[in-house]
Amino acid sequence: MFKGPGETAEFCRELRERSFEGVDVVVCPPYVSLSVAVQLLAGTEIGVAAQNVHWERNGAFTGEISAAMLNELGVYGAIVGHSERRQYFGETDETAAKRARAALDQGLFVIACVGETEEERERGETEDVLHRQVSAFEPDEHLVIAYEPVWAIGTGKTATPDLAQDAHAFVKTLIDAPVLYGGSVKPENASELLAQSDVDGALVGGASLDLDSFTAICQAAVPVGS
């Protein structure tokens, strides 16, 4: 919940001046800032996605936004099942899957988030949790999975590159989809994380709020030789 329309406009104006050749870049501002982001990033290769989406097209769901509404705005896609939605707002595997299906049926791309808590990791349940969460989603050419270990979000902790690689490789045994890493990704650790063979990109949190920081992470994802 950062960057209203004014801050988003400033961010996007500067962002469109940066070079991101060889890497796919998507920004996911709050609902109130989606329209200005779409307008200012029009004509660029930078996509704009929402942070959430509802599974119904319309109805008595006060406070929710449908995939059709996002589509009308010109939005590229949506995140579903983010750990903060699961932790604070009662998101479940079932509701995350319903949101994903609605967005995909509307022609949007979906970044579906999965990941274990620190307690689940300590109990050795990481693979069980990932299996349950990933299995809720149906394979789709427009579906991307984001592995975000909950214990590494906003804590300053980061999965080691080897740990991230192992989790990503396991997720890919469950579903045929690109897998992003999300968990305290910063310019200092992005290159090493993104160099892992099964890490296909990053879902960047706090480090995306600063333009130079976000740019550095995006550039760390550019394939060698591009």
Is residue 222 classed as helix, strand or coil in its secondary structure? Answer: coil
Residue 13 lies in a domain: no
Catalytic positions, please? Answer: 82, 148
Q: What is the CATH number of the domain that holds 151?
A: 3.20.20.70
| pLDDT recorded at residue 224 | 61
Residue 189 lies in a domain: yes
Residue 3 lies in a domain: no
Residue 15 lies in a domain: no
Q: Which residues form the domain of 142?
A: 23-220
Residue 206 lies in a domain: yes
Give tens-digit pLDDT for 68-102.
Answer: 999 999 999 999 999 999 999 999 999 999 999 99
Report the number of distinct structural domains present in the chain: 1
pTM of the model: 0.95
Residue 196 lies in a domain: yes
Give tens-digit pLDDT for 106-149.
Answer: 999 999 999 999 899 989 999 999 999 999 999 999 999 999 99
29: buried, middle or exposed (CB in 10 Å: 19+, 13-18, 0-12)? buried
DSSP assignment of the chain? ----HHHHHHHHHHHTTS--TTS--EE---HHHHHHHHHHTTTSS-EEEES--BSSSSSS-TT--BHHHHHHHT--EEEES-HHHHHHH---HHHHHHHHHHHHHTT-EEEEEE---HHHHHTT-HHHHHHHHHHTSPP-TTEEEEE--GGGSSSS----HHHHHHHHHHHHHH-SS-EEE-SS--HHHHHHHHTSTT---B---GGGSSHHHHHHHHHHTSPTT-
Residue 99 lies in a domain: yes
| pLDDT recorded at residue 11 | 98
Residues in the chain: 226
Residue 10 lies in a domain: no
Is residue 18 classed as helix, strand or coil in its secondary structure? Answer: coil
Two tokens, residue 189 = 């650790």
Give tens-digit pLDDT for 98-115.
Answer: 999 999 999 999 999 999
Give tens-digit pLDDT for 1-46.
Answer: 999 999 999 999 999 999 888 999 999 999 999 999 999 999 999 9
